[in-house]
Each structure stands twice: as structure tokens, then as C-alpha cells.
Amino acid sequence: MARRQNIPSFRETGKLAEEFLGGNSVKPKNNPKLAVSMYDKGELLSTHFSNNPRFQEQIKHLKEGLVKLLILAQQHEETVTPKQQQHIRNTMWRIKKYFNHDLLREALIRYTINAHPKQYTPWEPGPIRRSLPRNEFITDLQEHVCEELNTTDYNKVRFYNASGTPLDILYSTDGFFTLDGSLFPDGENRILPIDITLSKSKELKEFNPSGSLILFMDGEKLGDEGFKHYQENFAGRIKDVLQHTKPDHALDGFVSQFDDEQLSA
């Protein structure tokens, strides 16, 4: 499998991590209209939050908050000046502080799934996936994870790109796996957020402050053998982490655009 030979410097690692996830063609969109539509349909939150009196005041402002976050995230994508980007992130953090950490995370996960291009199936290694060379790394990683979990059903181990979204900027989540409950003894679903990084300062940490599993890469060791090593190593780590990962109910009752298309087929 052909791989890129020219490795950018560490100041370009954000873009490189983005390429590992498939590049611009498969990135989710920062689309405020979609967020409004999902809010109005009651699709952004599970009943764990929507039926809890403690969160009703926050939920009233969730639509406005998400719209602002998505607009700012898009501005962050289009801004090249580090100082301006930092200003945007600071503004986003002020908005985030109003909401419960897990409530906003759940809404952003649900939004991010539906914000993917409809023609792209983000978990099956089919023609669309294989036509994107930059996306081969995460596709191969997903295959290794399926092998570790003894399944050949890619519907049970899905991966979603989150690069450039508020989930990426606020939670340092480059993407996340959703894992079907049938893969676990308790029958409960899991969600595993990941942070792909080439930052050496994170090398010895397992999780970032927001709870995303750090997949560390050395920018000087990304040849063919390096890719193979990282894929196998990461898949093994993911399996080990899942052994003690608590069930996640963020997607309980949620029917994504991809599930809806399958049900309609």
C-alpha cells in the first residue's frame, strides 16, 4: 500500500492528523441549519438529559449555543492567524462553560454523525473509502479493531470523523468509534473518542483532559512499517481500553441519517 513519504513539520501536524481521517471530502460540515432542525425534532439529546428537570434551563439555550459554536468553528477553519484562532477558541470556551460537559458532548456527537456527507458511509471500507488514499489509515485501523473484537460486521464498529467541528475544538476529539452493545457481555453500547496527535508532549498520556484516547504518532516514523505498527498497536490499545470503558447512552434512541437510509432501503 503506497504511503506519503514527505512528512510535514510538527507545526503542520494538525493538517496531517486531518488527512489521516480522510481529508476535506469526508469532513462533517459546520451547518447551523442542521443543528436547528435536529433541535426542533428533539434529536440532539437522549431522554437521560431531555427528561431531567435539572437540565431544562440549559436545553432552552442549546439551540442558540450550538448555532454560535458552529459558526465560530467554521470561522476557526477559515482563519490562518494563530492569534485570531485563539480568540475564537476562547469565545467558544465561554459558551461551553454554560452547559453541562456531558450534555453538550452528547449533542455534539449526535450532530457530528448527521453532519457527514450523505454519500459517504463512514464505517464500511467500500469503494468510496478506498478511493481516498489519505483515508486508508483510519480504514485499516478500523479493520484491526474489528479483528480484535472478533467481528466482521462493520455496522457494529463505526468510525466518525469530527475534525474541524466544535467536538474537535472543545473536546480535542478528532473522531470517535461507536461500538454496538452486542460486542460486550452487558449488551450496552460504547463510544470511544480519539485524539490523533504528533505532539511529543502527549506521548506518555493515555487520555487527554476531555477523555479522548490519545493515539500518538512520531512524525519521523510514518513509513509503511510505521503505519502497520501504529494500526496494530492502536487496535490493541483500543481493545484494552474498551474492557473498562463504561456504557455510553449518548446514542440511545437516536436514528442517524445513515441508519435511516438503511431502514428505508
88-109 pLDDT, tens digit each: 999 999 999 999 999 999 999 9
Specify the pLDDT at position 68.
98
Specify the pLDDT at position 9.
37
Specify the pLDDT at position 122.
54
Specify the pLDDT at position 26.
73
131-181 pLDDT, tens digit each: 444 457 777 788 888 999 999 888 899 888 898 999 999 998 988 999 999
Those residues whose C-beta lies under 8 Å from the C-beta of residue 178, and which sit 6 or more positions away, are: 157, 158, 160, 189, 190, 191, 251
- State the DSSP H helix or E strand holding residue 161, giving kind and residue range, or none if neither: strand 157-161
- Can you list the pairs that 126-132 forms with residues at least 24 positions away whose Cβ atoms lie under 8 Å? 132/22, 132/23, 132/25, 132/26
Segments making up each domain of the chain, as ranges: 20-264
Specify the pLDDT at position 97.
97
Those residues whose C-beta lies under 8 Å from the C-beta of residue 82, and which sit 6 or more positions away, are: none
Specify the pLDDT at position 197.
79
Those residues whose C-beta lies under 8 Å from the C-beta of residue 152, and which sit 6 or more positions away, are: 146
Distance in angstroms (rounded) separating the CA atoms of residues 180 and 154 = 10
Specify the pLDDT at position 7.
40
Specify the pLDDT at position 35.
97
Show the low-confidence residues of the chain (pLDDT under 50).
Answer: 1-11, 127-134, 263, 265
